[in-house]
Amino acid sequence: MIDAMRIGITGAAGGIGSALSDALIIDGHELVLIDNLSYGSIKNFRIKKNSDELRNIDILNFSETKDALENCEVIIHLAAISSLADCQGNFRFALENNVIATNNVSQIALQSGSKLIFASTSAIYEGNTQIPFSEKSIPNPHLIYPLTKMFSENIIHSLSKTNNLEFVSLRFFNVFAPNQSFSRKNPPLINYLVREKYLERRAKIFANLDTTRDYVYVNEIIDLIKIILSKDIFPKQSVNVSSGKSTSLTDILSAVSDAFGSDVKFDLGKPELLWENHPDLFVGKFPLNREFVRKETLKESLGDPELAFKIFGWKSSISIRDAIHAEKANMIENIKNAGILAV
């Protein structure tokens, strides 16, 4: 059992944050939960204490954030604009909420002596071609979202060198969490397919059915964070959080169909049209190159999980099929709570 700590969590009402908050409060920790609710929802919490005590704070407000977090032993910084299309459509919005906000949290950690767990992303490997993606690779992203995460990692690494900030940067691959948003224009794939299946609508799929990604179940991410907290392991480096397994779109469709007892109905669209719900991306004299959208839609994503096992003794063991079955009821409840009938 982990000794009780005072832990701050930004983005606490999001898909990962809400599940993590509920797990850590059960373990007896004192939590400081922050979210501006622009993407997260109080309804995501299963434990009332967390929803009651969530602080509606924008971490771009340094003074309010500092007042909330300055006495925390550990800060888990999950807050970010993670939608690729939203970031691509508003560079300043992405830079402020992902980079400046991370700088704020890092400065607060320095001033208060907090250790930092930073949520990075496998998207940082966007420009890399050697599969599986390893932490030894030099990130070379082009899209705005992974650029903001790379900049944020650079800030944290710099502060570790200059000020001895204790941190770990966790590069999450494709996270599956039942509380991820069903309502945004391009929801996470599994949640979107469950939504369309439950509402008896035809899903629109833009990738090829043999397109593969590396999926990680949120409960396993929680297990990893608990290991970091319990063993006080902050290795001052970036670490992949991946299953090391390729899961195809066909596999995902099969798993969702199996969970519901009948096939998911879908239509195939062109990969370059994935972000058509964001028309502002394709206007002006220099519109977004649709080839980048096509590549992003069809890219293979597979992580090398060895470093996480070497440092933390952690590895993924729950299949995405089993995770979908386990979370089906929660996802349906979340769809009902969101009042989603048509989009």
* In the chain, % of residues over pLDDT 70: 98
Please report the domains of the chain, with CATH numbers, ordered by start residue: 6-177+216-243+302-317 (3.40.50.720)
What is the rounded average pLDDT for all residues in the chain?
95
Residue that the structure tokens 């833009």 belong to:
206
User: pLDDT by residue (tens digit) across 101-149?
Assistant: 999 999 999 999 999 999 999 999 998 989 999 999 999 999 999 999 9
SS3 content of the chain, % helix, strand, coil (to 5): 45, 15, 40
Q: Are 169 and 112 in contact (CB under 8 A)?
A: no
User: pLDDT by residue (tens digit) across 154-188?
Assistant: 999 999 999 999 999 999 999 999 999 888 888 99
Q: Are 115 and 75 in contact (CB under 8 A)?
A: yes
Give the pLDDT score at 343. 44
Distance separating alpha carbons of residues 186 and 274, to the nearest angstrom: 8
pTM summary value:
0.96
User: pLDDT by residue (tens digit) across 209-219?
Assistant: 999 999 999 99
Distance separating alpha carbons of residues 182 and 168, to the nearest angstrom: 29
> What's at 147, amino acid-wise?
L
Give the pLDDT score at 341. 60
Ordered mean pLDDT values, 10 residues apiece, the chain (343 residues): 88 97 97 95 95 97 97 97 95 97 98 97 93 94 96 98 98 96 88 96 95 98 98 96 97 98 97 95 95 92 98 97 97 85 51
User: pLDDT by residue (tens digit) across 148-162?
Assistant: 999 999 999 999 999
Q: Which of 145, 105, 101 shows the shortest CA–CA distance to 126? A: 145
